[in-house]
Amino acid sequence: MLISDIRREAENLVFSMAQRYTLGMMKKILFLEGPVQTGKSTLIRTLLGDHLSGCGGFSSQRLIDAGGSTRGFRLGPAAVTPPAAPAEDYIAAPGSPLPFAADCGIFKWFCEDGRVITDQSVFDTVGVSLLRSSLDSPLILLDEIGGSELLCGPFCQALDEVLSSGLPCLGVMKLADGARRLERQYPSDKGWTLLEKNKEIRRRVLSLGGRILYYERGSESGCDIKPDLSAFIQSVFI
């Protein structure tokens, strides 16, 4: 088979899947899951292309120091917040009470002395605002959910409003193992551990007809989901 024929078959498959999404035969909630830093967020943004600028929702941005180590995480608008940024851009001025700049959406910071500073209030302020302001967007990007934000009541309420709104939602879901590893840093919420919260949001997504697809860059499964992801995006912006 010629390469041109293979390409044409792939394009026809994507278009057929996009039609199924558009006609409501496939629900418009899709999440990717997989190991950390394996390209899930980058793949979504690459396939969105110019459509990214019109997306609502949020992005959890990794802040990286000059040596390539993670120094923190911040929450920002999905359309203008890439997956990673230089940590030096968010270092606090001398004399500041915190090692990082205030009012930047930073919810976790790893200090040089080994301390970890967390600010869960970011999810109930910045996070809730980003979710509720996205309800008039053609596509809501949720990158990522399944972590410590699920211990924040107002954020969870706003997230459920978005998921149950009927609007297309696309994002990244933290693996259950990742949630389990975070349990030592975060206390349970009314008896619910973070792992239980992760399992609950997965059940909620599936109950709404959503899907969670495994992705790992370079793996066979990673190649398999690209037509599906492309079709999902096309169905929104056709």
CATH of the domain at 53: 3.40.50.300
Question: What does the alpha-carbon distance between residue 96 and residue 117 come to, in Å, rounded to a whole number?
Answer: 14
Q: How confident is the model at residue 5 (pLDDT cuts 50, 70, 90)?
A: very low
Question: Is 83 within the bounds of a domain?
Answer: no
Domain encompassing residue 191: 27-59+120-237
- Determine the Cα–Cα distance for residues 140 and 145; give it in Å rounded to an integer: 13
Type of residue numbered 143: D
Q: Does 38 reside within a domain? A: yes
Closest of 126, 176, 118 to residue 146, by C-alpha = 176
pLDDT in tens, 140-174: 999 999 999 999 999 999 999 999 999 999 999 99
**pTM as predicted:** 0.86
Q: Which two tokens stand for residue 64?
A: 């990286």
Weakest mean pLDDT among 35-49, 78-92, 177-191: 177-191
| Beta strands, E only, 123-231 | 140-145, 169-173, 211-214
Assess if residue 10 is contained within a domain.
no
Q: Six-digit token pair at 113? A: 């002395």
Query: Is residue 113 in a domain?
Result: no
**Cα distances (angstroms) measured from residue 195 to each of 132, 135, 146, 182:** 26, 28, 9, 9
Question: Per the structure, how many domains does the chain have?
Answer: 1
